[in-house]
Structure 1
Amino acid sequence: MLGRLYELREEVAIFLDSQQKADFHDNFQSEGFQITLANLVDIFEALNAVNLKLQGKSINIITHHDTIRAFMAKLDLWKCRVQQGNAASFRNLDSALADSNLVPDLKAEFIRYFPDIDDKREAWKFIRNPFQCEVADAADEVQEEFLELKFNSTAKEDFKDMDLETFWGKYLPVYLLISHQALRILTMFGSTYLCETAFSTIVAIKTKYRNRLNVEGDLRCALSSIRPCIQDLVA
């Protein structure tokens, strides 16, 4: 919406003038407002891109952690560039950008949402790749299992071909303690995407014409990633 407004800023100014909204017209046309609007367009475009990366069924909290850390590093880069009068990071902003307060404030807001963002990196190191970690990276109670896993050549080959969830799920019966720790992290809800998907599905299934429908079974089928064997069920 902000992007559309910015693209149509000349038409909006003409409309406000034709409607004899002098105060709105003058404020809208002011240099400070136009620069701030351009800045908001770019910031929200970046936030929308981050939001999309946090959605989907095949990602986990570790992936989310990486996405957030990368975005916060970009915020530092943007702040540094803006302070030097360089607006290269902002598509709709030129070198005349004067108000750079939004970028550091945005990082402070991210730190408020993710206060322990830097504390998780080492704690999750063995989950990301147990074959490139040292025994000290694992907790004391799982270090012996960690060493057994690290020197398991078959597991090392499997790790190359599997995603994290599949790998740790496969070796749960073999290395119970360390796999259990890994799966506790990987099965966390990293965002509200799955909840929002479920609510949207309920709205689609339970309409006013089916307001007495018990949606539990239908909802499970609609949300499951397992494809049913229709021919076998029919047979």
Structure 2
Amino acid sequence: MLERLYELREEVIIFLDSQQKAALHDKFKSDSFQIILAYLVDIFESLNAVNLKLQGKNIHIISHHDTIRTFMAKLDLWKHRIQQGNAASFRNLDSGLAHGNLDPELKILIITHLSSLKAEFTKYFPDIDDMRESWKFIRNPFQCEFADVAEEIQEEFLELKFNSTAKDEFNDLDLETFWIKYHSVYPLISHQALRVLTMFGSTYLCETAFSTLTAIKTKYRNRLDVEDDLRCALSNIKPRIQDLVSKKQCQVSH
């Protein structure tokens, strides 16, 4: 929405003038407002990109963790660049600046906002750095040392680490498939890995389920026992229609 507003800023100015909204017209037309609007477009674009990366059916909590840490690191980078008077990280802001110079007051305003945004992320994810080390063996057990895992699974971890076949398969399989495959061989360490990988990384799947339920259980089907229908709608397993049909007798004439 902000991006559309920024793209149509000249038209909006004309519209406010035609509607005789003098106060809004003068405020919207001012250079300071235009620059702040350009910054808001850029920062919300970045937040929306992070939000999209946190959605999807086949994304686990470790990838979410990496996405959040990356964005928090970018906030520090953007803050450092703004302090140097460099707005290259913000496309619309950089192109909207007169002579490419940041006003000192605007610079303070942006730095304060980026600092507040970093503080909010730190508040929501206080243990973001601690999780990185505790999940190290899950991401790649072949690049860890026995000291990186709990004492009760260290021996089993070493058996896995020096299993050359497992190491080759690790490069070809995704994390979930790899740990499921070796769960029967290395149950202790695989159990810990799968406990993490099966966590809900975000509310995306819950929201998807509620949306699907709303589509299935309408006011015309309010007495429907929705459990089986919902399971089919949410499952990633594709039904084998031909096999199912072959087991049913077609309606024949008497």
Q: Scaled by the length of structure 2, what TM-score is found?
A: 0.89
Please name the residue that 2:97 is paired with. none
Q: Which of 111, 125, 132 is 2:122 aligned to?
A: 111
Sequence identity of aligned pairs in percent? 78
Q: Determine the structure 2 residue equivalent to 1:21.
A: 21
- The residue aligned with 2:229 is 218
Aligned residue in 2 for 1:151: 162
2:39 matched to which residue of 1?
Answer: 39
What residue in structure 2 maps to residue 192 of structure 1?
A: 203
Give the distance between the partners of 1:2 and 1:102, measured in 2 at CA: 17
Letter paired with 1:64: H
What do the CA deviations read for 1:109-140 (whole angstroms, capped 9, x no partner)?
Answer: 11111111111111100000001110101111
Instruction: Note the residue ranges of structure 2 that are not aligned, 5 or more in a row.
Output: 95-99, 248-254
Residue 96 of structure 1 deviates from its aligned partner by 3.6
Give yes or no for the alignment of 1:209 onto 2:220: yes
Q: How far apart are the structure 2 equivalents of 1:163 and 1:9?
A: 46
Aligned length: 235
Report Cα offsets for 1:204-225 as digits up to 9, x if no partner. Answer: 1112222221211111001001
Q: Which amino acid aligns with 1:72?
A: M
Gaps of 5+ in 1: none
1:26-175 equivalences under 5 Å are 26-94=26-94, 95-97=100-102, 98=106, 99-100=109-110, 101-175=112-186
C-alpha displacement of 1:106: 1.1
Give 1 or 2 for the bigger CA radius of gyration: 2
Cα distance between partner residues in 1 of 2:126 and 2:69: 12
Paired position in structure 2 for 1:8: 8
- In the TM superposition, what is the alpha-carbon distance from 1:54 to its structure 2 partner? 0.7
Using the alignment, how far apart are the partners of 1:41 and 1:175 within structure 2? 50
Distance in 1 (alpha carbons) for counterparts of 2:30 and 2:113: 19
Aligned partners of 1:20 and 1:103: how far apart in 2?
36
C-alpha RMSD of matched pairs (Å): 1.1
In structure 2, distance between residues paired with 1:168 and 1:186: 9
Distance (whole Å) between structure 1 residues aligned to residue 214 and residue 85 of structure 2? 49
Shift of residue 30, structure 1, vs aligned partner: 2.2
CA shift, 1:51, in A, is 0.8
